[in-house]
Amino acid sequence: MAQIRINNLRKEFGAFTAVKSSTFTVEDGEFFMLLGPSGCGKTTTLRMMAGLELPTSGEIFIDGEEVAQKPASQRDIAFVFQMFALYPHMNVRKNISYPLVSQGVERAEVRARVAEVARILKIESILDRSVGGLSGGDRQRVALGRAIVRRPKAFLMDEPLGALDAEFREHMAEELRALHDRIGATTVYVTHDQLEAMQMGDKIVVMNHGSVEQFGRPQEIYDWPATKFVAGFIGSPAMNFFDFNGAISPGGESIELSGNPVGVPQARQGATGKLTLGVRPEHIRFSDQSAYRGRVVATEYLGTTQIITLDTPNGEAKARTSARQAIREGEIVGLDFNPTTVTIFEGLKGQALLSAGNEGVLHHG
């Protein structure tokens, strides 16, 4: 098991910078997600950790040892690709034992370790079957077995479930997480799927355009997004953004949204000019008392909750309420936001203004 520390890691491909000065730490035994949209530099970061790509600058420490310029073979970590490749002419047992046999490990030791892996993965009954006839799930388990049997310090996984259909993907995600909990090995997992990252990860790094926007626990990132990008990327439906010009009240407790006062958390830094109020759909409440009003333009029934689309003075917004709340299209409703749950973003990069409640949990890259 290992701690992996990334310090000011940078990768340029010619004139293009794919990864810009990333800094974060994967603690020993963590299930750690690298999350972001296509092209943001996740795979390049993972490949640098693995030793498959040399950084332009920066450091990578595995258990305190600087390895940035060392080849993959000297890092003792297993890289699991999206397409699990198995040797089709070998049975399950031979596929799993292959990495040990090629390292010259003794036969008795190989047998014991394959048996242990088969028990962990619950595939004892198929050890002597040919891989050709296996189901997709069993093939994935065998491929994982081949990675686990080496007992590497860490696993690096690049969208390992990317090719699977939604239902099976969810099942394998649960299995992978449970497997991690059983063996406790440090795992770094690349995904562009925010739900997958939230469900599986102990920690998440959110990347955009080669930069780390934030890292932290899933709930910290959801509740206290460090930037407007993170706020919009995590959560479905996405966080609502209400642009407003202006002033946070002198005491820092409210803003004016289209002429109506709206409560906000105590902003530690004052800011004026173009600001954005961020409100999650589940934090919009309907209240007759509120002078800030919107018109219901659509409702979407989801069983226990419903998504209500509203036309507000600041554009379209989506609210999530209990499905039992009676609401009709065309209705004009007062909108109320709980001040402790909203975020205000400022500036070109859309940085969140820190408040007393969230300043301890934000981590910028």
Q: Which residues bind ligand ATP (CB under 6 A)?
A: 13, 16, 18, 36, 38-44, 192
Nearer to ligand ATP, 4 or 344 (CB): 4
Minimum CB separation from ligand ATP for residue 20, in Å? 11
Minimum CB separation from ligand ATP for residue 45, in Å? 7
Nearer to ligand ATP, 40 or 319 (CB): 40
Task: Report the residue number whose CB is nearest to ligand ATP.
Answer: 43
Minimum CB separation from ligand ATP for residue 72, in Å? 16
Minimum CB separation from ligand ATP for residue 316, in Å? 29
Minimum CB separation from ligand ATP for residue 166, in Å? 18
Size (the chain), residues: 365
Nearer to ligand ATP, 11 or 363 (CB): 11
Nearer to ligand ATP, 41 or 218 (CB): 41
Nearer to ligand ATP, 24 or 292 (CB): 24
Minimum CB separation from ligand ATP for residue 195, in Å? 16
- Cβ–Cβ under 8 Å, residues 91 and 130: yes
CA distance 150 to 325: 55
Minimum CB separation from ligand ATP for residue 156, in Å? 12
Nearer to ligand ATP, 48 or 172 (CB): 48
Nearer to ligand ATP, 42 or 203 (CB): 42
